[in-house]
Structure 1
Amino acid sequence: MKKHCIELDQTGQFSRFFLDYIQGKSALKPFYTHLPALSSFQSAIEKKVFDQEKRDVLVKSLKKQYSGVELTEAVAQNIEKLSDSKTFTVTTGHQLNLFTGPLYFIYKIVSTINLARKLQEAYPSFHFVPVYWMATEDHDFEEINYFKMDGKKYQWNSSQTGAVGDFELNQSFKDFLKTVPFVAEVFKSAYSSSKTLAEAARKYVHSLFGEEGIIIVDGAPAELKAEFKEVIKSDLFSHVPFEKAISNTEKLESLGYKSQIFPREINFFYLEKGIRERIERTESGFSVLNTKIHFTESEIKALIQDHPERFSPNVVLRPLYQEMILPNLAYLGGPAEVVYWLQLSGVFDHFNVPFPVLLPRNFALIIDSNVTRKMGQLNWSVTDLFKPYAEWKKEFVLSESGIDISLALERNAISEIFDQKGKEAATLEKSLGSAFAAGKVRALKIIDQMSTKLRKAEERKLHVQLERGKAIEEFVKPGGSPQERVVNMMQFYLGNEELIHELLDCFDPLDFRMMVLEYES
């Protein structure tokens, strides 16, 4: 792949909030601990206190989670290394999208693996393990039950409810799989040999990235949730996380930044087979929305003690939970994720949990030889790929026209005539000034109509070039959204199984620019 890089603020795809963070704007510095830079990791290592008991629990849980999976040597070694006090993790997380969902799922993991590599080179006396956190407890099935490829949507419909990680790959899934005859073997093997969506996701991520040592973590087991008991009690009974998150949110909003998440007084769901519903306070204790489940205060305290796995954190507390059960130094996320973490630094401070180095994942646009050829025919640079099509079209038609289709000179001349004569006429009779003003409006409207006719004639003459531009835009922004947020990796992987290795070679997790990758299809 050939690689070209563009500054993110030239793409038109990112919020001012996110750009201000990665550019180190001083107003945001109170909301995080470390600058997003390689030099920050020495301090992050020194601040991260993670006792041996937690390491032992984590390693034991991971070995159980990987039961039935044939480990690569790199993964087996990394699990064992987590017992060592000199081993730290760098983490990304995502939902269990079918067949990985959009490309950025892959980009997150590649960025995280490469960060671990860079840290290993920079701090050789420590070990660094890349982690993919599976959002097995998420319950928004509609967000993950499809993928898009070559302009077509492939969707699995299921009546199952609750945490998506528990969704069984039943007959409805097998029927759905028949509608995807082109599926890559790595996915076919994972789904056909798994009972649940979580099991399949673990297998295909392991198959794609296991040689790179990626550790896949499911935060659902009771032994891990047990370490979160005090936070669960604090959230349910005193609402401290809500207060801390709201405080940061209000401060950020006062600086003009828009909130990404909205804290609640209680930030936990009740979780059991088929159910993941919000917990709410009642006069007599607690209730679970959309169910008949109720608890007194004493009953829910007992449940926290005996079954902490029944409590599933929402977006406000999941980051804290992750940092409490992992010896983690950095989190890599998308632009919305990065900025919502800034709303949560007060929650971390309250529970004395070190805030990690917060890094954006890498951003990329893959173009094939067909797009490259069309770009050459239009004399486009890679920067032109991010220009809105309507804007480019207008500029292109004007530049290629043999005449001034805007009729700007004529418009100005007619406007001046009506203005001048209107003033003269108004000295004879005041109402004539208004008549000339109305006549000017009608005349300019006719000029605009003629300009539109000229433009359309030029567009017909330039039809081939305009269609090329439209085809490029649909490739890089299918349906109007950036490619990495829409297109599935199989669109490129099926023709090139070296795609993952090529991305590993191209990505630099500390280079905060958009990459345009020329892919030989």
Structure 2
Amino acid sequence: KDGIRERLVESKGKYAVNDTAITFTKEELVSEMENFPERFSPNVIARPLYQEVILPNLCYIGGGGEIAYWLELKASFDAMQVTFPILLVRNSALIITEKQADKLERMNISKSDVFLSQNSLINKKIREISNIDIDFAPQKKLLEEQFKEMYALAEKTDKSFLGAVKAQEVKQKKGLDALEKRLLQAQKRKLKDHVVRMTELQNDIFPNQSLQERQLNFSEFYLAYGEALLPMLFKALEPLNLNFTVITQK
């Protein structure tokens, strides 16, 4: 109203318009809403419910984050007996340039690898290219087998020792985990150049470690591909295919 767009804040039965001197009793607020509905808008939590009441949809199409948000509101729709729309995840795409594709191939990084968190990607590739085995899973399995015998011995003698046996098992597993991490860090330092190149490449494909669509403007791709961009997207994207699409120019 009159250039004001502020939250309504309830306190002790009174309703105030935030950062103004305007207040209402509950009865006054109901009257204001009935007489001037155009002055009111629901907040972000109630907006999907509101929009489905005034303009119902058969299907709501949104990105992954939007769909996750809508799924949190199902109970609200049920409580208000409003039909909950079908939810459909829209297409999402990642464009990998020819230069980036060449680098991925040379570094033996698959398209699925590039979606890993940066730390997971580095750890996986370091293990693959390292000349020593930095996976203590066999040692941990052997340790578990040895402790099985100790558990059985404690059961037969004094069950109060079971806690002590468990504590010792946890301690030794943590020790193996710590050794594994130290070896991995040592290999990362040794293969620093490879780590740097992997990190730079992933950051190039996922700016700020986020999806291209959240960071880059459409014009950047249009500048690179020109009029070929839209036909390329039309050909690659299928509206009802819920997989994440990777478009590689090579």
Give yes or no for TM over 0.5: yes
1:507 equivalent to 2:248? Answer: no
Q: Is the 8 A contact 2:15 2:24 kept in 1?
A: yes
CA distance in 1, matches of 2:44, 2:75: 15
Q: Which amino acid aligns with 2:191?
A: E
Provide, for residues 385-421 of structure 1, a one-character-per-residue CA deviation record: whole Å limited to 9, x for no partner.
113333333343444344x37598xx9xxxxxxxxxx
1:323 equivalent to 2:55? Answer: no
Q: 1:476 to 1:449 in 2, by over 3 A?
A: closer
Q: Is the 8 A contact 1:405 1:455 kept in 2?
A: no
1:380 equivalent to 2:114? Answer: no
1:300 equivalent to 2:29? Answer: yes
CA distance in 1, matches of 2:62, 2:214: 13
| Pairing partner for 2:207 from 478, 489, 496 | 478
Q: 1:272 to 1:489 in 2, by over 3 A?
A: farther
| Pairing partner for 2:7 from 268, 273, 277 | 277
Q: CA deviation at 1:319?
A: 1.2
Provide, for residues 177-214 of structure 1, a one-character-per-residue CA deviation record: whole Å limited to 9, x for no partner.
xxxxxxxxxxxxxxxxxxxxxxxxxxxxxxxxxxxxxx
Once the two structures are superposed, the pairs formed by residues 225-240 of structure 1 within 5 Å of their partners are none
CA distance in 2, matches of 1:471, 1:512: 29
CA distance in 1, matches of 2:188, 2:214: 33
SS in 2 for 1:366: strand
Relative to the length of structure 1, the TM-score reads: 0.35
SS in 2 for 1:314: coil
RMSD, aligned α-carbons: 3.5
Q: Which amino acid aligns with 1:459?
A: L
SS in 1 for 2:53: helix
Provide, for residues 404-444 of structure 1, a one-character-per-residue CA deviation record: whole Å limited to 9, x for no partner.
37598xx9xxxxxxxxxxxxxxxxxxxxxxxxxxxxxxxx9
Q: CA deviation at 1:467?
A: 3.4
SS in 1 for 2:41: strand
CA distance in 1, matches of 2:210, 2:24: 45
1:354 equivalent to 2:113? Answer: no
Question: Which residue number in structure 2 is paired with residue 309 of structure 1?
Answer: 38
Q: CA deviation at 1:347?
A: 3.5
Relative to the length of structure 2, the TM-score reads: 0.67
The count of aligned residue pairs is 210
Provide, for residues 17-45 of structure 1, a one-character-per-residue CA deviation record: whole Å limited to 9, x for no partner.
xxxxxxxxxxxxxxxxxxxxxxxxxxxxx
Q: Which amino acid aligns with 1:516?
A: V
SS in 1 for 2:7: strand
User: By percentage of residues, which structure has more strand?
Assistant: 1
CA distance in 2, matches of 1:448, 1:340: 39
1:459 equivalent to 2:191? Answer: yes
Q: 1:279 to 1:309 in 2, by over 3 A?
A: farther
Q: Is the 8 A contact 1:365 1:515 kept in 2?
A: yes
Question: Which residue number in structure 2 is paired with residue 489 of structure 1?
Answer: 218
CA distance in 2, matches of 1:405, 1:343: 44
Once the two structures are superposed, the pairs formed by residues 59-78 of structure 1 within 5 Å of their partners are none
Q: 1:369 to 1:350 in 2, by over 3 A?
A: same
CA distance in 1, matches of 2:102, 2:21: 62
CA distance in 1, matches of 2:6, 2:81: 28
Question: Which residue number in structure 2 is paired with residue 145 of structure 1?
Answer: none
CA distance in 1, matches of 2:64, 2:7: 27
Q: CA deviation at 1:309?
A: 1.7
Q: CA deviation at 1:287?
A: 1.3
Q: Which amino acid aligns with 2:34?
A: Q
Q: Is the 8 A contact 1:374 1:468 kept in 2?
A: no
CA distance in 2, matches of 1:367, 1:280: 51
Once the two structures are superposed, the pairs formed by residues 161-172 of structure 1 within 5 Å of their partners are none
Q: CA deviation at 1:454?
A: 6.0
Q: Is the 8 A contact 1:397 1:458 kept in 2?
A: no
Q: Which amino acid aligns with 2:247?
A: L
Q: Unpaired segments of 5 or more residues in structure 1?
A: 1-270, 412-443
Once the two structures are superposed, the pairs formed by residues 92-491 of structure 1 within 5 Å of their partners are 273-280=3-10, 282-283=12-13, 285-402=14-131, 404=132, 451=183, 455=187, 458-460=190-192, 463=193, 465-491=194-220
Q: 1:305 to 1:513 in 2, by over 3 A?
A: same
Q: CA deviation at 1:515?
A: 1.0
Q: Which amino acid aligns with 1:273?
A: G
Q: Which amino acid aligns with 2:8?
A: R
Q: Is the 8 A contact 1:362 1:508 kept in 2?
A: yes
SS in 1 for 2:16: strand
SS in 1 for 2:76: helix
SS in 2 for 1:290: coil
Q: Which amino acid aligns with 1:489?
A: F
**Overall identity of the aligned pairs, in %:** 34
SS in 1 for 2:34: helix
Question: Which residue number in structure 2 is paired with residue 147 of structure 1?
Answer: none
CA distance in 1, matches of 2:34, 2:181: 75
CA distance in 1, matches of 2:135, 2:82: 65
SS in 2 for 1:494: helix
Q: CA deviation at 1:327?
A: 4.6
